[in-house]
Amino acid sequence: MSISFTLNGDAVTADVDPEKPLLWVIREDFQLTGTKFGCGIAACGACTVHVDGIAMRTCVLPVEAVAERNVRTIEDLDIDGTSNPLQTAWLEHQVPQCGYCQSGMIMAAEALLQEIPNPTDEDINAAMTNICRCGTYDRVRNAIHTAAKARQGG
């Protein structure tokens, strides 16, 4: 069966089992491996992408659920160079350690900032439920605050 959706701005069609989770469609069928597999049960957030601007965990999201919808992955975040304020802030704060969770972290943070441009620590706690086994949490928090400021023009 073919499912059509928009992936990072391009109209695409996936000719796959409609139940196949979006994570594996993105990784295997479109070879975009920035989105990671961590738990497979929506518990860690490594597989977070945006579906119509909302952060979604894709390891349990059947691809049919995104038919005709707009999917954006980490690979699209810096499409105009490295100008995304989150990525700049992430480098400024030297956030990643192993880096494996960071695509999901950044996508969750981007969705947060789109919804709440100037989040409080409580907003960050509520929105950022991704697991980082390397324990980068306090740098993630600081980088989100820095990016929020930058997005609002410093």
Q: Backbone phi, then psi, for 10, in 5-degree steps? A: -100, 140
Distance CA 138, CA 55 (A): 21
Distance CA 60, CA 106 (A): 19
Contact 90, 108 (CB under 8 A): no
Give the nearest distance from C-beta 123 to other proteins in angstroms. Answer: 11
144 binds ligand FES (CB under 6 A): no
106 binds ligand FES (CB under 6 A): no
Give the nearest distance from C-beta 35 to other proteins in angstroms. Answer: 7
Under DSSP, the state recorded for 63 is: G
Give the nearest distance from C-beta 80 to ligand FES in angstroms. Answer: 25
Q: What's the burial of 136, exposed, middle or buried (CB within 10 Å: 0-12/13-18/19+)?
A: buried
Contact 16, 25 (CB under 8 A): yes
Convert residues 79-98 into a mask of x (bound to ligand FES by CB under 6 A) and - (unbound).
Answer: -----------------xxx
67 binds ligand FES (CB under 6 A): no
Give the nearest distance from C-beta 40 to ligand FES in angstroms. Answer: 5
Q: Which of 26, 101, 128, 147 binds ligand FES (CB under 6 A)?
A: 101
Residue ranges in contact with ligand FES by CB under 6 A: 37-40, 42-47, 57, 59, 96-102, 132-134, 136
